[in-house]
């Protein structure tokens, strides 16, 4: 059975995630309103973009409560960049009132502003070297017990997993490398 993966499509870089899922044989489902978010989904991707705007749109569309409850109850989720910020329990430098389900603290724009966007390469979860593109990316400054650190860049934590939740500070959808999405589909979805 092809896996049905919701892609939050309110704002930001969601098209690239859709293409990545198609490439890997999963079925992407755009989530734009409450009625798109059904129990038939096997997982969901929260893309990069602008976390404040996306957070506000989640409230406006009525998606906030059902999404937060589903993530807290175990729906597998991949949050990239702004998506990671949305899932984090704490952020150091903003009035943080997002989904608050992933046991980490993030520093928004930790790697600097737009001009400081950069790419590098590093090991991801023992799966080999992956390209890492950072665009005004956050990094993680603290993790709770039970959070696995999957990757670092410039000595900062940039990828973590806590059970069903995978949080990535970079943009794996912007390169041809499928490692992170495959990890999500093969390991996180199967609770491995």
Strand, helix or coil at 149? Answer: strand
Q: Is 22 known to be catalytic?
A: no
Residues 5-20 as b or e (16 or more Cβ within 10 Å = b): bbbbbbbbbbebbbeb
Catalytic residue among 16, 17, 81, 181: 81
Report if residue 82 touches ligand GLN, rule: CB under 6 A: yes
Report if residue 79 touches ligand GLN, rule: CB under 6 A: no
State the minimum distance, in angstroms, from the CB of residue 78 to ligand GLN: 13
State the minimum distance, in angstroms, from the CB of residue 106 to ligand GLN: 9
Q: Is 173 known to be catalytic?
A: yes
Binding footprint of ligand GLN, residue count (CB under 6 A): 11
| CB nearer to ligand GLN: pick between 42 and 130 | 130
Choose the binding region for ligand GLN from 33-41, 78-86, 146-154, 156-164 (rule: CB under 6 A). 78-86
C-beta neighbour count of 68 within 10 angstroms: 17
C-beta neighbour count of 137 within 10 angstroms: 30
Q: Rounded to the nearest 10 degrees, how much is the dihedral formed by the CA atoms of 54, 166, 136, 105?
A: 90
Q: Is 16 known to be catalytic?
A: no
35 exposed, middle or buried (CB, 10 Å; 0-12, 13-18, 19+)? exposed
Report if residue 96 touches ligand GLN, rule: CB under 6 A: no
Report if residue 30 touches ligand GLN, rule: CB under 6 A: no
Nearest to 154 by CA among 179, 130, 119, 180: 119
Q: Which residues bind ligand GLN (CB under 6 A)?
A: 48-51, 81-82, 85, 108-109, 135-136
Q: Which sequence positions are flagged as catalytic? A: 81, 171, 173
């Amino acid at each position: 059975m092809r896996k049905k993966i919701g892609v939050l499509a309110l704002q930001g870089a969601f098209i690239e995630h859709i293409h990545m899922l198609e490439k890997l044989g999963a079925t992407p489902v755009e989530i734009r309103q409450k009625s798109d978010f059904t129990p038939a989904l096997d997982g969901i991707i929260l893309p990069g973009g602008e976390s404040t705007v996306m957070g506000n749109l989640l409230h406006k569309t009525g998606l906030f409560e059902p999404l937060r409850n589903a993530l807290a109850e175990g729906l597998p989720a991949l949050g990239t960049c702004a998506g990671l910020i949305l899932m984090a329990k704490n952020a150091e430098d903003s009035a943080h009132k997002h989904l608050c389900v992933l046991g980490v603290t993030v520093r928004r724009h930790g790697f600097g502003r737009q001009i400081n966007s950069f790419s590098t390469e590093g090991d991801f979860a023992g799966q080999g070297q992956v390209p890492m593109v950072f665009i005004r990316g956050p990094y993680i400054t603290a993790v709770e017990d039970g959070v696995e650190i999957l990757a670092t860049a410039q000595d900062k934590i940039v990828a973590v997993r806590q059970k069903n939740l995978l949080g990535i500070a970079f943009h794996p959808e912007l390169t041809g490398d499928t490692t992170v999405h495959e990890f999500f589909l093969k390991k996180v979805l199967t609770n491995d």
